[in-house]
Structure formats: structure tokens, C-alpha cells
A and B are shown apart, each in its own frame.
Chain A
Amino acid sequence: MDLDADCRRILSLARDARTPTLQDKARIERRMAVAIGLSAAAVTTAGAASATAASATAASSGAAKAAGSALALKWALGGCALLAAAVASYAALSSSEPAPPRAHVARPAVIPVPSPSADAVPHGLPAPALAPAPARAHAHAHTRARAAAGGALSTELVLLHAAQAAWRAGDPERALTLSAQHRRRYPRSALGLERDALRVLALCDLKRSEEAERLGRAWLARAPSSPLRTSIERSCAMQ
């Protein structure tokens, strides 16, 4: 049997009603950019811990994996960042090539700057990260041109990125300060979970385990289904 015209109309209306908006798409893109960055960083940190107990060969392998992870991030989220409008910060980040595999394990060199504004998300730009060098250069020039052309960066995202960058650079104190600023300025931010996950990880780095545990438990209760859950569960907060 086939469905009649009324059924088809109802299906079409329901499909339309459940089709996401560009705002939905941009919001998930922002959250994913932050989530992937934090997850990869947490994995790399765990890799560092295991590397200390393992042989030099194993450590090199872990480092290669970490670098590969960073490269993958650059590929995937370079595209996100380009398609988003956080172009100026991204161009600054992208100006250097990903670090080659090193003997020691470091946090990923690339954390994306997510889109600052759903309204400013342009479409149809190529994702250039794996393209040949001339294409990359062209894309970067294009990116810089867009940055020069204007488009205010979201202060919120710049602040969150700065907090991430500080943490990545081994300055958890500053990461905490910046994330506290973010919390004060944007108490209802859509990126609140990602910010607080960063706080937990930074507290762990500072050996403030009790605070990390308290915040981590509250975070897990708040976000039982977040993709960042594993990172928090593996942190000092839950050990």
C-alpha cells in the first residue's frame, strides 16, 4: 500500500518542522570544535602520563599519535573555523604547520577557534587543511582578507580560546582566571559546559584535586550525556 496525499503532507510538514536551522548548525559546530579540542588534549595528557612509565619507543609512538591527533584536528576544525567567522584568530593559529612527531608528548598544537556568530557563518568555502601548499596559502590569504574585511570577533569565543590556549601552553592558573572571567561575563553561555570542563582539567593540573572533584561531580551531574564526559571521568576529579 502507498500513503495518500494527506499522509504525504503531514510527513512533509513534520520533516520541515524538524529540520534544524542555521543557528542549530552553527551552535553544534561551535560546541564540537571546543569538545574535540578538549577531548584530544585530555587524551594527549593521558598519553603523557603513560609515556613516563613506558619505554622511549612507546613514548615516541604516543607522541606521534598525539601529533596525528593534532593534525586531524587541524584538518577537521580548520574547515570549521574557516567556515565560521573567527577568521582572524584562526589565521594566526594556522600560520604555522602542525608540529612533527616529537620525542616528548605535548598537548595538541592546534585548538580551534569556534565560530563567534551563527549569523556570520558563510557557506561554500573550501576546507583547505589537507590541500596542497599553494591551495593552503590561498586559503590563508582568503582568510586574512576576510578578517581584514571586518566582522567583529565574538569576545566570548576569543576569551574561551585564550583560556584554552593558556591551559594548552601549560599555564592552568591563567586558564582558570580567564575561564572565571568567561563565567562572570557569560553566565548563560552555550559553551558553559565546555568552559567548566576546562576548569576541571586546569584544577587537576594545579593539583587542586578537591576543587576539581567537587566541580567535576557537579559537571557530570549537569552533563550526563556530554561527549566530554570521558575526559572528566578520566581526570583527577574522578580518581
Chain B
Amino acid sequence: MTDDLFVRGVRTAARVAETSEGAQELAPRTTTNSSELRREVGAVLRLPEGGVLDPSDIDVEQRDDETMIINMGPQHPSTHGVLRLMLELDGETVLRTKPVIGYLHTGMEKTGEELTYVQGGTNVTRMDYLSPLNNELVFAMATEALLGVDLPPRATWIRMLMSELQRVSSHLMWMATNGMDLGSTSMMIYGFREREMVLSFFEKTTGLRMNHNYIRPGGVAADLPDGWEDDVSVICETVLERTYEYDELLTGQPIFRERTEGVGNLTAEEALALSATGPILRSTGVPWDLRRAMPYLAYDQVEFDVVVGTYGDNFDRYSIRLNEIRESIRIIRQVLERMPPGDYRVQDAKVTPPPRARIDESMEALIHHFKVFTEGFRVPEGEVYVAVESPRGELGCYLVSDGTSKPYRMHIRGPSFVNLQTVPVLLRGGIIADAVAVVSSVDPVMGEVDR
């Protein structure tokens, strides 16, 4: 067996040496025909409305020796992970861009088919690592749709509280890294400082700072800790106050505005055609927010505004995220006042394991607990697509069940994966120095892009 392993090791090493992505890369201009070039220059050319970009705009005859193809990433501090961009440059101007992804692909959809619905949360939570609770939420909601269970109101409101806090923490993280990408290192420190407050509350509630597995099919894993109202009030007050400090630090700052206004423009037609959702779509003036348009949880019972932009540039995307923090805090404050009492899990013995204390008293409870966590529960046959509004856009889960305790197929529609298609359009004609700012404003999380 050792011999076998050794041989396998050699073969693996030979494969690893091959690092070229071949056809996935951006081809040089000489080997690219004009229709291919048009496609790369902007998917927008294929818009059904047509004429958003003038085809004669593309200089097909441009001589190859005047342009240069460079790699940005995958090991680049500003690409937020392992995103690799191949850029064709003419001097400092970006002509074509091609994102090359897959460096963080770990086959999580395949893994999801091998895990029970109980275990599935631990898998999906690792996809979008900046908003793990939203991933758990969409997976749990899809499972519940197949099971046909209705949640007690407290579970719904706890989920809403947690997912809004997650939105705050995710946007704070974005503010921090976006500031860093534009050279404002103090924003980096402030953003992380405030995010840490939210993560401490998560740690108190779920036991972990990230990858919680807190929202599970049938409710949430545990009730909120004693005194959670005080903790959340402090977070709301502090973060809201600090957002006005960010206004002073960035929003009104001439250098920041110069670097963001009018950079990376996108129109509403382009955003819709490229299936962009979330802050990118809203920055173009389309008031589309799933929390408002197709309410889930109890979002139809709380008051909040959908923030939209006008120009679809980096500054709009910045201000949308900043103001979404404020709107989230507004929702959190309403949840604080109106949190209903009651169960935090559905009292359906099929889905919910018995509480820990019962295991010490009852043999049946012990067996039941053991069965839920080893075999899981059976989910009726069917298929469902459920979508929620994650901080990055529409996060969807397509779940197919064949009647066993494991999903037959679990597909996650990651908003970052789809939003990444806007990068070539946003970068085209801009300068290379803005590439970092533009990629940052799209807010891709590579864990979710590659899954």
C-alpha cells in the first residue's frame, strides 16, 4: 500500500506542476477574432436592447505590440482572496478584463450531497464567510419549505435580528477593506473595531465568531443569552454614532470622492442584463430589495427604507452600503422592542432533538437525540428555490430532495459569483489604478464565488 501511495504521490506532483489554466485565460489579441473580442470587451454588446456600447468603439485593428496583458492576482492583497484578473492594458487604460476564478473551489455542493440536513448548515455557512448566518438562513428556509413546517414567531424574529446584525458586520468589513484599498488605513482599523463588537455578540449567542451553524432547519440552535437587549442596544448606539464619523472621514473627504465618483459606472440595463443584484443593482437606481419586494421572515412587519443610488458608480455603492448599515440598525431597534416570547425552535419531535436536560432523565430522549444527529430526519420528495437578500445580493438555494435524509442536490446561487461578471464592464476604459477600487466596490467574497 505504501508503494501505491508513493506512486500516486509522484503522479500528483507531476499534475501540480502544471499551473496554466489554458483556455480559461485571456487570449492575446492576435489570436482573438473580432467577434470574440467584442464578447470580451463587454457582455453588454449582447444586450437585447442593443446599442449600449457602439461596436465600432472597439479598436479591433489595434496592434498587439501596443497592448500588454498582465495578471492581477491570484496572490494580490487587494483582490479580497484569490481572485485573478487578466487585464489587457494600453498604457494605463484597461481595454479588456477577464476574471479567472476557481482557486478556492472545494466542491461544497458535492459535499452538501453527502451531509444530512442537520449537518448541512456547517457546510453552507463556510461559503460566504463574511455573512455565514445568511447562508444558514437560506439553507434552513429551503429545507423548511420542503418539510412544510411553520416556525414559531420568536424563531423568525431571532433570525431577523441575527441576519440584520450580520448585514451590519458584513458592510462594516466592506467599509474597512474598501477604505484600505483606497489608501485610508484608518478606516480599516475603525471598520474592524466596530465589526468586532458585533462578532462578540455572535460569540456570546452562538459560541463562535464565524461559521456558527446557529440557524438550523426548524429554528435556531439556542435562545438569545440573558441581557441580549443591552448588548444589542450598545451595538446599535455605537455603530450608528460611528457611521457619522465615517461620514467625516470618507464621505466628505475630497480625495475619497475624487477616487470614487464617476469611477466604474454601470447602467440599470447593464446591471439587469448581467443578473447583478444587491448594492450593485440598487446603485443604478433600481429599487430591488428582496426584503421589500418578496418579504420573507417578518420583513413585511418592520419599517425600513430601500437605499438606491443614481449613477451606478463606486461612490453610490459606498453610500448605499453605509446607509444600509443605518437601515439595518433601524430594523434591529424594532426587533428589540417587539421580540415575541415563546419557543425558539419548532416543537416537532421529527425535526427538533430533545433538550439536553431531558437526555439525563429519559432513555427515549437519548435515543431520539442520537437518531436526529446520526441519521437526521427524512425530507419529503420535491424541489424548491428559496432566495434571501444577503449583504451582497440575492442568495438563493435550489434544493432537490429524493425523500432521504440527505439533499439529492444542493445548489447555492452565490451573489458574488454572478456579480463578478460586472467587473469587465466596470473596468473597461478606466485606468489600472482604479481597478483595485472597482473590484473592491463589487465586494466579491471568494469563498462564495468558488464554493
- A and B form one complex: no
Enumerate chain A interface residues (CB-CB to B < 8 A). none
